[in-house]
Structures are given as C-alpha cells and as structure tokens.
Copies of this chain bind each other. A is one copy, B any other.
Amino acid sequence: MNDNQITNSRELLPEPTIRRLPWYLAYVTLLRKNDVEYVSSTKIADELNVDSSQIAKDLSFLNIKGKTRIGYEVASLEQALRDFLGFDQSHNAVMVGSGSLGAALISDSGLQRYGLNIVAGVDIDPKIVGSEIGGIPIYHIDRLKELVKKMHIRIGIVAVPVDSAQDVADTMVAAGIKGIWNFTPYRIRVRDGVVIANTSIYSHLALMYNRLGTLNL
C-alpha cells in the first residue's frame, strides 16, 4: 500500500506498543503542563505501572533519544509521540448511524484533538437525513460513495444497531472507506486491505460488572 520505507516499518509496529504510546503521551503532556523538563523511562515506568525496559523499547520506535541519567526532554517527547501517533494530522471521517451513540461521538470535540475530523454523517432515517448534528451535515447513506470521494474520507465510524452493522460495513467498503472504527459489539468482517478497529465499550462494562462481583445469580 505504501512505497515509503518508514511507513512500512511502522505498519509492523506491535499493537500493544501502539496501545501504550498514548498512555505515555497523556503522562508527558501532564508533566509539560506542570513545567517538568526531563523524564526518565524509570519514572514513567513507576507512574504507569509498565516495565521500564518495555517503555524504552516502545519509545525506540520513535526518532528520539533520551540523555544518560536525565532521560527524555518532556516537550520533545510529547511532540514526537503526537507526530508518531498521527494526532496532529487531520484524518477525515464519516459517522455512519447518527442515533444516540453516533450523535454523541459527533459532538465529542475530543476526537478532533486526536486528529479525527468528522466531516459528515450518514443515516437512513428520513427524520435525521438533511439535518445537522453539532454542525455536521447528515446525508442519506446512498450518497456515501460520492461523499467519500468529494470529502477525501478514508475512515468510517460505525454506530448503528447490531442488526445492520455488517450490511453497513459492506456499503462503506464498496464506497471506498479504508478504515472502519466499529463501536458495535458485532464482529464485522471485511476483505483484506481494510482496517478494522473495534471499540467494544459494552465488553468493558461486562468486565466491570464481573470484577465488581455485583451480579446476583
């Protein structure tokens, strides 16, 4: 897909590393706001409860070096992490389904700060199509292909009922969407070359209930 050596090596980045990098970013952002200038991987390890050799290994993917004894410069590490994670770029996305969760996500300006630019929503409900949510226009899903092309959209967010998750994903892929962010608990299947990221918030709830031992059986 890419002819860029750096991008290729980055595609092989292990998923657990990608999951941990935003934790480091959150922590060094906090340090920078508190005017801390340097941080060691040992200090990050203590704070985040991650092995310090793991942190050094994770950070070795970035183009940044720590200094012996004083560690990483906080501001540089923060910027290197934001660059590496793509949070300072703008990635156009379409929200598919604008019911309760979809509308909520459209309204979450936090996503914008992490580089996700929701430029349109699509739905099938005639009561919603033609309206705006948080300033974002909602179109009929029949126009998806046209929108994807015109608005340079590569990412689609799925927040539809479970029943239609697979159908909607098929429509998205046919319209040229390359990455699907799935908020439904349904396991969407796509052909090779399309990226799926699953955010199973209900699984996290189930885990919480179970671990709390609050269930009366």
Contact = CB atoms under 8 A, between A and B. Distances in A.
Interface stretch (A21-29, A64-72, A120-128): A21-29
Interface stretch (A1-9, A143-151, A168-176): A1-9
A164 to B, nearest CB: 9
Main SS of chain A's interface residues?
helix
A178 interface: yes
Contact count band on A: 35 or more
Contacts of A210: 10-11, 13, 18, 85-86
A116 interface: yes
Contacts of A91: 209, 214
Contacts of A13: 210
B200 A22 contact: yes
Interface in A86-108: 86-87, 89, 91, 100-101, 103-105, 107-108
A206 B22 contact: yes
Contacts of A209: 85-86, 89, 91, 115
Contacts of A53: none
Interface in A203-217: 203-217
A93 to B, nearest CB: 9
Contacts of A43: none
Contacts of A108: 100-101, 104
A85 B214 CA distance: 11
